[in-house]
């Protein structure tokens, strides 16, 4: 079994975990992975010029494999429209994934 | 130093950590990264229609850089054959990685 | 909004977190994600032949989206020159990312 897939990555604030999971779910994606992530976006830049490294509890990173690019863009559009005015976040796409095996996932 | 590599990603249940590490090792891969991951596969869908967001302790995500696509497929085939009848998991591949620097890794 | 980006991934020892964050920052990248990671590089191979699975506290994985490939290579070159003689690490690049949405990130 081999099939092309798009991988959508969304990094955003942790408090949005359940709301974004719901959007992914309702778009018809069969699953996703989420990990705790720290990092820095332009929101966190300190005037001291020092990079402010957040601890790894503040952000989350979703990875969603979707059968079509369209589904990934739809999820991304919806997440950005609902949350990216008020919360920091980034959504990006990689179109060259190939699913080798999947079981109950 | 720049060389093409394939990146194999395996997301599966945490209790398989050591067994999968052994398969990766025996296939000749020089290293891998593993992170704790939560998420949802079709196994976890609740009949309520609510997405069930696992905590980040239940799953693991392996990332393995391999010098050839063949090595990545071999690892994936073996992991799927041994475990994906009984455990949830997904294995996917990205062929467009480029290793810039590696030291003792 | 859609724009091509390169994704630089650096996996290395956790004690380098702040120093690498500084290099990324000074190169002009607008943000990055960092997660705790375990794994195995050739440095950790035990003579017993058993894979030694590190716990997930020992390493870190940076992911940096950069607008150009040049910026990614520059960061990677600098990190490798400063640290990869003394610490284990790997830096690799994926050129096919597409940023869909970004806000304060």
Mean pLDDT by 10 residues, chain B (105 residues): 88 94 94 89 44 61 94 97 94 92 80
Residue of B73, B72, B84, B93 whose CA lies nearest to B12: B84
Q: Give the count of domains, chain B.
A: 1
User: Domain for residue A105, yes or no?
Assistant: no
CA–CA separation, B63 vs B61, rounded Å? 7
ipTM of this complex > 0.85? no
Angle at A38 between CA C104 and CA A82, to 5 degrees: 40
**C4 vs chain A: nearest CA distance in angstroms?**
9
Determine the 3-state secondary structure of B104 from DSSP.
Answer: coil
Which pLDDT score, from 0 to 100, does residue C21 have? Answer: 95
* CATH at B41: 3.30.70.120
Domain assignment present for residue B105? The answer is no
Please state, as a whole number, how many other Cβ atoms lie within 10 Å of the Cβ of residue B93: 21
CA distance C73 to B33: 21
Flag whether C57 is in a domain: yes
Classify residue C104: in a domain, yes or no.
no
Residue B104 falls inside a structural domain: no
For chain B, where are the E strands, in sequence order?
3-13, 32-40, 59-66, 89-103
Using a CB-CB cut-off of 8 Å, the residues of chain C touching B38 are none
With contacts defined as CB-CB under 8 Å, which chain A residues touch C79? none
pTM greater than 0.90 (yes/no): no
The answer to whether residue C105 sits within a structural domain is no
Which of C11, C34, C94 has the highest number of chain A CBs within 10 A, making it the mutation to test binding with A?
A: C34
C58 in a domain, yes or no? Answer: yes
Cβ contact A69:A43 at 8 Å: no
Contact yes or no for C90/B103 (Cβ under 8 A): yes
A104, part of any domain: no
Q: Which of B78, B8, B45, B10 is nearest to A33 (CA)?
A: B10
On whether any CB of chain C is under 8 Å from the CB of A70, the answer is: no
CA distance to partner chain A, nearest, from residue B69 (Å): 11
pLDDT in tens, C36-91: 998 876 544 433 334 444 444 589 999 999 999 999 999 999 999 999 999 999 99
**Residue A40 domain boundaries:** 2-99
Per residue in A65-82, pLDDT tens? 999 999 999 999 999 999
How crowded is the C-beta side of C96, counted as CA atoms within 13 Å? 12
């Amino acid at each position: 079994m081999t099939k092309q897939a798009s991988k959508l990555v969304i990094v955003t604030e942790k408090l949005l975990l359940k709301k974004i999971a719901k959007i992914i779910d309702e778009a018809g994606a069969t699953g996703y992975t989420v990990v705790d992530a720290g990092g820095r976006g332009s929101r966190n830049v300190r005037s001291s010029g020092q990079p402010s490294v957040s601890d790894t509890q503040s952000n989350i990173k979703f990875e969603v494999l979707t059968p079509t690019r369209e589904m990934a863009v739809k999820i991304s559009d919806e997440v950005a429209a609902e949350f990216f005015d008020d919360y920091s976040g980034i959504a990006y796409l990689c179109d060259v994934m190939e699913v080798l095996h999947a079981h109950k996932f």
